[in-house]
Amino acid sequence: MRRTSGIAVIVLLLALAPLPLVVRSQYWQHFAIVTLYLALLGQAWNLLGGYGGQRSFGHSAFFGTGAYAAAVLQLRLGIDPWACLPLAGLAGALMGAIVGGVSFRYGLRGSYFALATLAFAEVLRILADSLDITGAGVGLQIPLGQTAANFQFATRDGFYWVMLALTALATAAAWWLENSRFGAELVAVRENENAARALGVDATRIKLGAAVLSGALCGLAGSFYVQYYLYLDPRLAFGPEVSVTALLVPLIGGVGTVLGPLVGALVLRSLNEAASVITGNAPGLNLVLYGVLLIVILWGLPDGLVSLGSRLRLRRGRRELRHA
């Protein structure tokens, strides 16, 4: 059942490829791109925090490392922007290995691991704010050159297709986890690490592998961010906004599921836009409404929106039993 649903999700993503050819509105194209970007971030967090149970508060450490790798390699070394995309993924994976290696080596779990990731992100923000190579507090500006060869596009069509491909890659990684021995061992560690170790599972290696995979996807997201917005500074790269977003998306949609981050990204983006419209872009009010709506969703559906169908079926079954 899970195998079928995972393939269906990937097929659905691929079916969305013609969307820019049908929807020509710049607003809706941007909406779709940002939604897919949020899904990529959420899926990256989901691989480590959902399937692995290693809840992170500092995924911006992976994102920012990939983003700065792409920006610095372009501006300082003149490397092709397209080549910077996989290199940013490697940089994010390396940071995942460093954070995971240090944390898991010393047995950090739960809130201790979450705080450790937050500390790594803050240390990296301070470093980026101080070093000349990262532009210090001023940040880095990518020169405008709207050609496909420069990983910049005159329209949003190209950005949409790149982000769709990256999101499909992340979704395929989640599907692979659900149907592989590695994923089964990762879930076993999440459920009971001591029992998994007793059964011969190398918990440290498994968690480290999940951190590397999660970091790589965040690095890819960081590289895309640089090319899409053409600007990066330490607050954008390593600030809490990226970490909170990556955390909220799967929490809203459903942690430890293939579909959850996609649903969560769509709902999160829609809530953000709806809150802005309802409050008339009044400073601060849209964030208040946004927060209230999120609390209602998380309170009513602690297992995420993807659990809504099973909850309704369970409630219907109980009702039928009472009337039987």
Q: Mind listing the pLDDT tens digit for each residue in 6-29?
A: 667 777 777 888 899 898 899 999
Instruction: Identify whether 270 is part of a domain.
Output: no
Domain total of the chain: 1
Instruction: Identify whether 61 is part of a domain.
Output: yes
Residue 155 backbone zone (phi > 0: left; psi -120 to 50: alpha; other: beta): beta
Instruction: Identify whether 12 is part of a domain.
Output: yes
Q: What is the mean pLDDT of residues 187-210?
A: 94
Tens digit of each residue's pLDDT (9 = 90 or more) over 297-320: 778 877 888 877 666 666 676 666
Residue 1's pLDDT is 46
Instruction: Identify whether 66 is part of a domain.
Output: yes
Quickly state the pLDDT bin for 69 (edges 50, 70, 90).
very high
Its domain, for residue 142, covers 2-247
Which is more confident, 122 or 1? 122
How far, CA to CA in Å, does 97 sit from each of 37, 91, 194, 211, 279? 23, 10, 22, 6, 43
Instruction: Identify whether 274 is part of a domain.
Output: no
Instruction: Identify whether 264 is part of a domain.
Output: no
Instruction: Identify whether 317 is part of a domain.
Output: no
How far, CA to CA in Å, does 313 sit from each of 1, 25, 264? 17, 38, 21
- Mapped onto helix, strand or coil, the DSSP state of residue 99 is helix
Closest CA to 305 of 42, 104, 20, 12: 42
Kind of pairing between the strands at 140-141 and 231-232 = antiparallel
What CATH code is carried by the domain that includes residue 6? 1.10.3470
Q: Look up the pTM and report it.
A: 0.91
Instruction: Identify whether 171 is part of a domain.
Output: yes
